[in-house]
Amino acid sequence: MPTLPFAEQTTPQDVFEAQLNAICGSFDVQHDKPTLTGHVDLLCKGGLSFAKVAQNAKAIHRSRTNIKQDPGNHFFLVLQTEGEALMCQDDADVQMKQGDMFLVDSTRPSTFVYNNQASRQLSLHLPREEATQRFGHRIGGGIAMTRADPLAQAIEAILKDLTQNDRPQQEHVAEAFFAVLGAFLFNRSIGDRSPATPDHQIINRAMQILSQHYADPEFAPIHLANMTGVSLRKLQRAFGSLDTSPHKRIQEVRLDAAGEMLNRLGDKPQTSIASIAFDCGFSDLSTFYRHYKKRHGCAPGERRALQ
């Protein structure tokens, strides 16, 4: 049977299940033997919480009984980093290989099947209230993200950067993740109604680039077009198909990043609103204040007072 080079110790099944429940919530672990190879670790980076789960169980279930014991207030974005797994929720049964991802809703039953084969997964815990504020009805359980999708590749790269590196201002990296995940969910909602088009492919590439450069105050639509490999006119037409523009999308990503940083000020009360605006790519405070209120429905100072 394959072993896990990162988790060579054997763990009693009940101990592993207790570790999993303490970090991820109530789950039942099914294994053919009283011990398994694996462990669960909690990792916090950039204001985000991750569970690193290594194991060779037969299956892991979250039943309605588990949900009653632990109602759950998260979505889990599960990245397969080694091995394979069959992820099941609602009508979705997805065989995951390395680089694939799957969104799980903790309020609904789910089953993850490993067949006693070594598997390693990184599970990002997304608080439900924050996730629904950001993405609305577009986020949910049973959503697969294949490694062939350019936006999924960008998300994987960002998550690996967050979890494997220690950088100052990791909040910016976390905001890049939210920007790309938002683009994926938005494009998916469009895809539910119409097939992928060249315009959507351009937008996918542009959003990957924007997630990495929005904090640069000099970054403008012409730079986005050049780095995407299309003319400014072609980029404008692509975003126009979604009733928006490159300029507006850049501004929205910056405003959303600023909103998230204001949400996290409990840990850094000394941080000024002006420094947040500058860190998110705004060079003019009056523009920031005006558009922030239009985007979020309140002034930055009002949002801060709620923390």
Instruction: State how beta strands 10-12 and 35-37 pair.
Output: antiparallel
Contacts of 20 (CB under 8 A, 6+ apart): 27, 29, 40, 51, 53, 60
Asked if residue 90 has pLDDT above 90, the reply is no
Query: Residue range 76-96: average pLDDT?
Result: 92
Asked if residue 194 has pLDDT above 60, the reply is no
Give CB contacts under 8 A, 24+ apart, made by 133-139: 134/178, 134/182, 134/256, 135/181, 135/182, 135/185, 138/185, 138/186, 138/188, 138/189, 139/75, 139/103, 139/185
- How sure is the predictor about 231, in pLDDT bands with cuts at 50, 70 and 90? very high
Q: What integer pLDDT is reported at residue 8 of this predicted model?
A: 60
* Residue 198 · residue 235 · CB < 8 Å: no
Is the pTM of the predicted complex or chain greater than 0.75?
A: no
Does this chain's domain 1-146 share its CATH topology with 148-307? Answer: no
* Residue 155 · residue 178 · CB < 8 Å: no
The span from the CA of 18 to the CA of 29, in Å, is: 10
Q: What integer pLDDT is reported at residue 303 of this predicted model?
A: 65
- How sure is the predictor about 304, in pLDDT bands with cuts at 50, 70 and 90? low
Q: In CATH, what number does 1-146 get?
A: 2.60.120.10
Q: For 127-181, write each residue's pLDDT tens digit.
A: 998 898 888 888 999 999 998 888 888 899 899 888 888 776 677 788 889 989 9
- Cα-Cα-Cα-Cα torsion 103, 106, 109, 110, nearest 10 degrees, comes to 40
The span from the CA of 190 to the CA of 196, in Å, is: 8
Which residue from 149, 170, 2, 9 is spatially nearest to 79, judged by alpha carbons?
Answer: 149
Q: What is the residue extent of each domain of the chain?
A: 1-146, 148-307
Q: Which residue has the higher pLDDT, 226 or 72?
A: 226
What phi and psi values does residue 35 have, to the nearest 5 degrees?
A: -125, 155
Superfamily (CATH) of domain 148-307: Homeodomain-like (1.10.10.60)
